[in-house]
A = this chain, B = another copy of it.
Amino acid sequence: MGTTSKALSLLNHFSRATPQIGLSELARLSGLNKATVHRLLAELTSHGFVEQVGAGREYRLGPAFLRLAALREKQVPMREVALQQLTELSTKTGETAHMSLLNGDVLSNLAYAYSNRHGTMVMMEDAEVLELHSTGSGLAVLAFSPTRFVNETLSRPLIARTSKTLTDPAEIRALLPAIRKRGMATSTGGFEEDVISYAVPIFDARSACIGAMAVAAPVSRMTDELRQDICDKLMIHARQTTRILGGFPPDGFPPYEPQNSLLREA
């Protein structure tokens, strides 16, 4: 691993849970020497990627990201596109819609939209992190990721977020073929109790899976009708999002077939 990678890896230790970290602590977390971490942090600091906060001289992410994120968004308006699609999706379904991007071995929230149809909603957070094994979005991404990546992900400890979280690698692996065939994953109470989510993968120009779009609803509100509506609308908007972002679904990804026509006949 190159020096630059080590420096960049340091940034991954900052999270919502640990937004600022001391020198020794970061050395411990990263497994690097304290002197090394100090030098790398100095370089990151001089570029505004981290900054030192007064009291305990701890470090936190710097303001440079705001500029670079704005620049990135200016050229590749992912967030804007996503937000637009999610707003429509949540309005149509009456439930919370969100999209997240694969970042290393976790998903990070890109955008979300609420509906005001009901008094209760599944809530989302900015910069929230979703694990691959415990969420619908994660399963959708796993199903369309290279085998090696799946193996690595499932060989790490799988934390049980709730009593319903799947933590058996074999069990998760068994779900993937069906997800691939359907082009959609679902998870009930895996990340939060009483939340059911449906998720469809999003692809880039090389047909690599880069994240997922999902709709999350309280389990108590779910009916066959709502389920059908969510899946229908989600499939449309997820495919549309992939397309607008310049991506292509991989060979064999199921095309959208409206199923509500069948419902209406029934």
- The chain A residues found within 8 Å of chain B, CB to CB, are 2-5, 7-9, 11, 14-16, 19-20, 39-40, 43-44, 46-49, 53-54, 60-76, 78-79, 101, 103-104, 108-110, 126-127, 205-206, 210
Say whether A78 contacts B66, CB under 8 Å.
yes
Given contacts A7-B4, A11-B68, contact A74 B127 (CB under 8 A): yes
Q: Is the CB of B75 within 8 A of A20?
A: yes
Contacting pair A70 B126 (CB below 8 A):
yes
Can you show 18 pairs from A to B with CB atoms below 8 A apart? A2-B3, A5-B47, A8-B43, A11-B68, A14-B68, A19-B71, A48-B103, A54-B205, A54-B206, A61-B68, A61-B71, A61-B72, A61-B75, A63-B78, A66-B101, A69-B70, A71-B127, A74-B127
CB distance from A83 to the nearest CB of B (A): 12
Q: How far is the CB of A141 from chain B (nearest CB, A)?
A: 14
Among A7, A63, A76, chain B packs the most CB atoms within 10 A around the CB of A63
Cβ contact within 8 Å between B16 and A67: no
The winner among A9, A108, A110 for most chain B CB atoms within 10 A is: A108
Q: How far, in whole Å, are A104 and B64 apart by their CA atoms in the complex?
A: 10
Q: Say yes or no: A19 contacts B67, CB within 8 Å.
A: no
